[in-house]
Chain A
Amino acid sequence: MSAAPEWKNPVVKWIDHRLPVFTFTHHSLIDYPTPRNLNYWWNFGSLAGVVLVILIGTGLFLAMHYNPSVDHAFDSVERIMRDVNYGWLMRYMHANGASMFFLVVYIHMFRALYYGSYRAPREVLWFIGLFIFLAMMATAFVGYTLPWGQMSFWGATVITNLFSVVPFFGDAIVQWLLGGFAVDNPTLNRFFAFHFLLPFVIFGLVFLHLWALHVHKSNNPLGVDIKTDGDTIPFHPYYTAKDAFGLGVFLIFYFAFAFFAPNYLGHPDNYIPANALVTPPEIVPEWYFLPFYAILRAVPDNFIDIWGILPILVTAKTAGVILMFASIIVLFFLPWLDRSPVRSAKFRPIYKQLYWLFLADCIVLGWVGANPPEGTMLVIGRIATLYYFVHLLVFMPLLSRYEKTRPLPDSISAAVTPQGSSQSAQAQGA
């Protein structure tokens, strides 16, 4: 867009000539050209960034009073809650912040699915996003172990045991992960170390994510490329103001939980100190892992009888683990599974319907994950798991081929400005 700004302040000018941080910031946050038609679903990227910073900030402070030892971890968390100044606030901001991070990122991902933001040329941007998601899952998992309650302990036990399905080396890998024969002090210590490290890895990935974003700029609700300067507006003040407004609304929602329902999203069993000899009657992960938990438990025990293949290597347990990892890996192939000439669901009448069905399917999976895998629940879980993969692996490629898409506007500005309104009115009326 505009050329490099002229810096008037001599100190700024001197530094910028040697290290152009000011010019860089100006280009990426001030006059950065942004599609003029972004809706509120585009607020969730910046919200995720803010929550990440809040999580790192509160986490750093919690680490000042937390004691990662099996003898003291639970008590040190209770001490933070009762004795440390504002410790309750720090911990509730952190625990609910994790939930908010996942919520915001899920909305961000479903926005990308709706508007085709993963499509060329933004595949690498999508990949980095998925890596951030994987790093978030790892961080949340090891972090949940730290309070050393019953759910912490047994969640860590169950999830690390997933790796026992690896052929031949499974048990050795589990022992290596745990640093022992069961979850114990070495496990807690290393989980704390990783829980401190991984958020900074996420932070680095976020920079790559933004770098990739700024190469081809933001996608937009129409899914058409930026063609002229008229299609964009500068990031500041238009989107800084809009992001700030969205942040205000989001913080009210977030702190409604932190202040008034701080344990609503948690499990009461985690206020029972870890006991290596008693498993709670029901192990349930945090809400943001429930859909994946449902997929893990969906495979029937008689799977082998039905298929009659490799009964030694692929047991129901193994297949469940493979399916759970596959449910995320398949997302990496999305840019090639979806080959529609049109990005945005706005112009894809059938995909638009299936999109909502897919979203509903993910919510059903979450609901199933929260319940014991018995009777009807198990059947629903299996159907929902099947549909998850059918949507991504069958419907997406078929739609790309057979769906009749609606006509695209010539450009962003043609669709949103008065001159272009006649065209877009026709498109809307269709």
Chain B
Amino acid sequence: MADTSTTTAEGHEHEEDRRDFLLTSTIVVGAAGVALAAWPFIDFMNPSADVLALASLEFDLSSMEPGQAVTVTWRNKPVFIRRRTAAEIDEAKKVPLSDLKDPQADADRVKEGKDEWLVMIGICTHLGCIPAGQKVTDSKGEFGGWFCPCHGSHYDTSGRIRKGPAPRNLEIPPYAFTNDTTVRIG
């Protein structure tokens, strides 16, 4: 403190610069430390390893008949599995892409050579309801696929949105055939 009174105007200026530098660097290092310390707290709330470990599911398709639909639970969400009839596949394939709100060919929604099997997350892309159409008695909507009762979205036999407020086609989860009759979802 005693030094300050004896320094020249220039020297005083210089000291202010050094002090500013110390203050700024302290704040920057402190802020970086706080940000680094915040990350474990944020990540703590993310899905844990045991939740992620339950994230895949195997399903045996051998007992399903053409036209039959089954709903399984994957990551706490319903997954629609449908063994489509030849008529349904034809219908899905001949729709021109220009008619679609979210254009996607039927071939892009099934595995190659497995046209029969449609595997989708059964959650309406509008506001998250579960569309009807899995049960024989359900309304399947105007396009023979699924119909969401919440706000009237109609999906076709490829699970694509055709009419109603939903913006996108029903989502396809990551899945693969482990053999001819078994599918692993996730």
Within 8 A of B (CB), among A56-75: 57, 61, 64-65
For the complex, what is the distance from the CA of A65 to the CA of B51, rounded to whole Å?
12
- Listed in ascending order, the chain A residues whose CB lies under 8 Å from chain B are 57, 61, 64-65, 79, 82-87, 89-90
A90: chain B residues at CB < 8 Å are 40-41, 44
* Chain B at the A interface: SS class: helix
| Chain B, Cβ-Cβ closest to A87 | B44
13 contacting pairs across A/B (C-beta < 8 A): A61-B41, A61-B44, A61-B45, A65-B44, A65-B48, A83-B48, A83-B50, A83-B53, A84-B44, A85-B40, A87-B48, A89-B40, A90-B41
Shortest beta-carbon distance from A30 to chain B in Å: 15
B48 touches A84 (CB 8 A): yes
A64 touches B44 (CB 8 A): yes
Within 8 A of A (CB), among B25-47: 40-41, 43-46
A86 touches B49 (CB 8 A): no
A86: chain B residues at CB < 8 Å are 40-41, 43-44
Q: A83-B53, A87-B48, A90-B41 given; name 12 further pairs at CB < 8 Å.
A: A61-B41, A64-B45, A65-B44, A65-B48, A83-B50, A84-B48, A84-B49, A85-B40, A85-B43, A85-B48, A86-B44, A87-B44
- Listed in ascending order, the chain B residues whose CB lies under 8 Å from chain A are 40-41, 43-46, 48-51, 53
For the complex, what is the distance from the CA of A89 to the CA of B41, rounded to whole Å?
10
Task: Point out which of A57, A61, A65, A84 has the most chain B C-beta atoms below 10 A from its C-beta.
Answer: A84
A84: chain B residues at CB < 8 Å are 44, 48-49
For the complex, what is the distance from the CA of A89 to the CA of B48, rounded to whole Å?
14
Shortest beta-carbon distance from B35 to chain A in Å: 15
A61: chain B residues at CB < 8 Å are 41, 44-45
Shortest beta-carbon distance from A92 to chain B in Å: 11
* Chain A at the B interface: SS class: helix
For the complex, what is the distance from the CA of A20 to the CA of B43, rounded to whole Å?
37
A57: chain B residues at CB < 8 Å are 41
| Chain A, Cβ-Cβ closest to B40 | A86
B43: chain A residues at CB < 8 Å are 85-86
For the complex, what is the distance from the CA of A390 to the CA of B2, rounded to whole Å?
51
For the complex, what is the distance from the CA of A64 to the CA of B49, rounded to whole Å?
15
Shortest beta-carbon distance from B60 to chain A in Å: 29
A83 touches B40 (CB 8 A): no
| Chain A, Cβ-Cβ closest to B41 | A61
Q: Which 4 residue pairs of A and B lie closest in terms of their CB atoms, listed nearest first?
A: A86-B40, A83-B49, A83-B50, A85-B43
For the complex, what is the distance from the CA of A64 to the CA of B42, rounded to whole Å?
12
B44 touches A79 (CB 8 A): no
For the complex, what is the distance from the CA of A64 to the CA of B45, rounded to whole Å?
8
Shortest beta-carbon distance from B14 to chain A in Å: 20
For the complex, what is the distance from the CA of A79 to the CA of B49, rounded to whole Å?
9
A87: chain B residues at CB < 8 Å are 44, 48
| Chain A, Cβ-Cβ closest to B39 | A86
| Chain B, Cβ-Cβ closest to A79 | B50
B50 touches A85 (CB 8 A): no
Shortest beta-carbon distance from A349 to chain B in Å: 35
A82 touches B49 (CB 8 A): yes
For the complex, what is the distance from the CA of A38 to the CA of B171, rounded to whole Å?
66
For the complex, what is the distance from the CA of A57 to the CA of B34, rounded to whole Å?
13
